[in-house]
Structure 1
């Protein structure tokens, strides 16, 4: 007969397998990549190509093959800051002559449609999806469903979800307790230490996913993961 301990480990293992499967899946109804995603992400690859063109600008790369935060052109003397992954120039950073007067390593840049908040990029997706579908959609764009770690961050994410009529739709964020009922985690692996619950007293084994903007006070509440809601993605720069 299977013991309670064995059943617990089996449950945890099954939940983890589900999460891994979701992480490897392709996002349903995924949109086309943003313009920034069409750039070759490997600095070394671009460097090899530019050597074939006499007089062309060749990027400088770090030891990991990413772009150096500051790029300069030897032929023009101009320098500018770039996204170290894509090499895309950060707007309003190019100087006419010599290096920028600011520290490019502290410049943060989000792709089109995303909004910067404390070194993370966020985006609200208004198309309703199941929690698992929303998580995979976010992973496809290099992130996860948003984790929230402070009152200020919660207020910022709420503002992203606000519609033209100043309504706040119930929205998926990255919390779940599918591994152990009542033990809430964030899908991006960060610690779950800030909470904004609406009368959370008894966890439900059938409501394992976290939504925000619930009720008049726009709090957090557990919900069935199969329900359809818009969602917020977040990713570290």
Structure 2
């Protein structure tokens, strides 16, 4: 491997292999199938950004600049594997934008590919309010139209204001 690409990987904190790729060869994907800065997570090329924050729209543009799109999490298995990847990589960023919103029509949550986002368990958080009432998510109304996951809510889906500053998870289509 040339010195410059290896140096770039080290500066960006990227690795050529994750702990999951070093195990049983019959059940894992080879990470090198994904172009840098993407890494293989359950057969999908994913980039978990750890070097900047922005609004939902800014971070969508960031994903586009890498040839990808904000991530779509449409299965519980993939969500589990993605969160295990974040944990195994030691990523400590608390909040990530995902590729979903209800900006077009309030209450109609859609991924960036216009498919509908599944509501309820196992994706969305249910929160306790100050008086102990259960607040079903998404619950932010017209002031919270963009989808994220936050460590403070155990990385369940949550709605937030699109102008908040968070990191992002991108994926190749």
Q: What TM-score do the two structures reach when normalised by structure 1?
A: 0.48
Q: What TM-score do the two structures reach when normalised by structure 2?
A: 0.64
- What CA distance in whole angstroms lies between the structure 1 residues aligned with 2:160 and 2:88? 22
Query: How big is each residue's C-alpha offset from its partner over 1:106-149, in whole Å with a ceiling of 9 and x where there is no partner?
Result: xx921022112354311011211110000011112222110001
Count of paired positions:
130
Q: How does 1:1-237 map to 2 (within 5 A)?
A: 109-126=33-50, 127-162=52-87, 167=92, 169-193=94-118, 196-199=123-126, 200=137, 202-236=139-173
Check the 8 A contact 1:124/1:232 in 2, yes or no.
yes
Q: Which runs of 5+ in 2 are unaligned?
A: 6-31, 127-136
Check the 8 A contact 1:124/1:231 in 2, yes or no.
yes
| Local SS of the residue matching 1:152 | helix
- What CA distance in whole angstroms lies between the structure 2 residues aligned with 1:141 and 1:210? 20
| Local SS of the residue matching 1:232 | strand
Root-mean-square deviation (Å): 2.6
| Local SS of the residue matching 1:227 | coil
Larger radius of gyration between Structure 1 and Structure 2: 1
CA gap 1:122/1:194 in 2 versus in 1, 3 angstroms = farther
Q: Which has the higher contact order (CA 8 A, sep 6+)?
A: 2
- What CA distance in whole angstroms lies between the structure 2 residues aligned with 1:163 and 1:130? 26
Query: How big is each residue's C-alpha offset from its partner over 1:134-193, in whole Å with a ceiling of 9 and x where there is no partner?
Result: 001111222211000111211233234448766451111111000011110111334423
